[in-house]
Structure 1
Amino acid sequence: MSPQNEPRQTKSQRQSAARERARLIREQQRKRERRNRMFTIWGIVAAVAVIAVVIGFIVANGIRGQVADSGASPANTNAYGGVTLVKPNQLATSPASGDVNVKDTQSPTASASASGAAQPVPHGVEKAASGKPAQIVIFVDLACPVCKNFEASYANQLDTWMKDGKATVEYRVTNLLDGSASTTNYSSRGANAAYCIANSAPDKLQAFLKSAYEQQPQEGGEGLSNDKLKQLASSAGAGDIGSCIDNGTYRPFVKYLTDQGRADGVTGTPTVFVDGQRWSNSGDFTEFAQKIISARK
């Protein structure tokens, strides 16, 4: 039938057809809008995923990755990375001494070696001057089970010598067990946390070390998280050092002092010296140290 012969639509039919066309247009528009919304949502999801990957990479790099060779020194430490307790919970205080760099580690020299000793004595380890307390220096690693046992066995005796003015106790907190004791470089992160506390709350360091040993994780696992380290620091009364822990502020410093220790023959922990004499890690430490302390003039 030709168009001329088609029956003319009524007004009602024309209105109905117009409504149907409008409905189809609206439906197409809704489909386009839904499609555009989906594209937008998936775009946002993709962007969030990319950001998460970047953040994860940054965090993982901070936990497992490379650490700068140079960085800031915390306050209340000596030139070789030691923090010295002169009394229980009382550190010898000093201002921060500027940046350190791994390239500045020193090789053992005659002046840094015990005369006739088979192994060198680390820099800064020596017999205390006459009339002064004996110098006890302990290289530790917070992931080291033997260090934990040493503290459990001898912490009270160390406190007694300090209270009586017989000895000072210097800790050098290393990262020697990174890569072996945990999968997240816990040794470095734990040492960094210790130096964050030494820097800003030195009277809380001993309590933090005690708690860290008491909650020492099993070897070979992930180690304590940064959040757990912050919790231990807070429980010890160190205040807010979260950014210092999360940023790894003193990890280059830990790297430096550990490398200096290696250069000085310290390859395991605990490594303990009393007035420059190295304990063999066998026998009773109290007996070994007491003989040296009693012989002082």
Structure 2
Amino acid sequence: MSPQNEPRLTKAQRQAAARERARVQREQQRRRERRTRVLTIWGIVAAVAVIAVVIGLVVANGIRGQVADSGPRPANANAFGGVTLTKPNQLATSPAAGDVNVADTQSPTASASASGSVLPLPHGVGKAPAGQPAQIIVFVDLACPVCKNFEATYANQLDSWMKEGKATVEYRVIGLLDGTASTTNYSSRGANAAYCVANTAPTKFQRFLTSAYEQQPQEGGRGLSDDKLNEIATSAGAPDLSSCINNGTYRPFVKYVTDQSRLDGVSGTPTVFVDGQRWSNSGDFTAFAQKIITARK
């Protein structure tokens, strides 16, 4: 049928058709507007996420970048960053001995490697001389939950060996978890606070570590503030250390000890040695260490 022969629409039909076309056009417009809003919102969300990542990287890099490569060595820490307990709450004391520099870190040498071991033996780790207590060395990170568990499980046993004169316990506090455990490099800031305590109030060092672990922040958050670290130190019996902690006095030292630890094959914490023998972090540490201590002459 040709258009000329098609029946003519009534006025009411033409008005209804016009209304339907208008409705369809309005619906199509609404759909376009909805798509535009969704795309705009997702665009804003993506942009905010990118900005947040950039800001986070800038802040994290800024915090690390503010740490000098050289700085003072605290009193009562040995050449390798170790703070040694000879008895519970009693450190092997030594004066502050100049500065450290990250450029002076060294790769393990043949004389600093365990004979036949797969991993290198860190500098300053080995069997104690005959007639001396066994040397227990623990690499720790205050942001490390496994370190917290190690201390909670074995602290009393470590104290017993020290009281009996069978072992000394050396802690090397490092910032291995910066950038992963917190957004404010809590690992290094916590280590700095620990060395502030060792330098000024050596008899309170062990209590500080215990309290810091008890109040360990959740992984991935901001970590404890410097003010909170000072509060933990003073609660442990140290004097006000806010200047040392807030100024990051021993952050370069922490940087040095952490970098040297990495070069020495320490890739996680706790890493524990008893007279130069590395614990596998599995099984009972007491049984592992007792066998070595008993075999000493």
Shift of the alpha carbon at 1:220?
A: 0.1
Q: Which runs of 5+ in 2 are unaligned?
A: 1-58
Counterpart of 1:113 in structure 2 is 113
Shift of the alpha carbon at 1:246?
A: 0.5
Shift of the alpha carbon at 1:129?
A: 0.3
Partner Cα distance (1:61, 1:106) in 2: 24
Partner Cα distance (1:137, 1:64) in 2: 27
1:266 aligns with 2:290: no
Partner Cα distance (2:225, 2:291) in 1: 41
Counterpart of 1:224 in structure 2 is 224
Give matches, 1:1-297, under 5 Å: 63=63, 65-297=65-297
Matched pairs, number: 239
Partner Cα distance (1:225, 1:94) in 2: 29
SS in 1 for 2:138: strand
**Considering only aligned residues, what root-mean-square deviation do their CA atoms show, in Å?**
1.3
Aligned identity (percent) is: 81
Structure 2: which amino acid aligns with 1:288?
F
SS in 2 for 1:272: strand
Could you list the per-position Cα deviations for residues 24-58 of structure 1 after superposition, in whole angstroms to 9, with x for gaps in the alignment? xxxxxxxxxxxxxxxxxxxxxxxxxxxxxxxxxxx
Asked if structure 1 preserves the Cα contact closer than 8 Å seen for 2:60 and 2:179, the reply is no
Could you list the per-position Cα deviations for residues 77-121 of structure 1 after superposition, in whole angstroms to 9, with x for gaps in the alignment? 100000000000000000001000000001100110010100111
Asked if structure 2 preserves the Cα contact closer than 8 Å seen for 1:62 and 1:248, the reply is no
SS in 2 for 1:290: helix
> TM-score, with normalisation over the residues of structure 1?
0.79
Counterpart of 2:9 in structure 1 is none
Partner Cα distance (1:260, 1:74) in 2: 17
SS in 1 for 2:86: strand
Shift of the alpha carbon at 1:64?
A: 5.5
SS in 1 for 2:84: strand
Partner Cα distance (2:135, 2:290) in 1: 12
Asked if structure 2 preserves the Cα contact closer than 8 Å seen for 1:63 and 1:189, the reply is no
Counterpart of 1:46 in structure 2 is none
Partner Cα distance (1:280, 1:258) in 2: 20
Counterpart of 2:32 in structure 1 is none
Asked if structure 2 preserves the Cα contact closer than 8 Å seen for 1:114 and 1:276, the reply is yes
Counterpart of 1:14 in structure 2 is none
> TM-score, with normalisation over the residues of structure 2?
0.79
Shift of the alpha carbon at 1:240?
A: 1.3
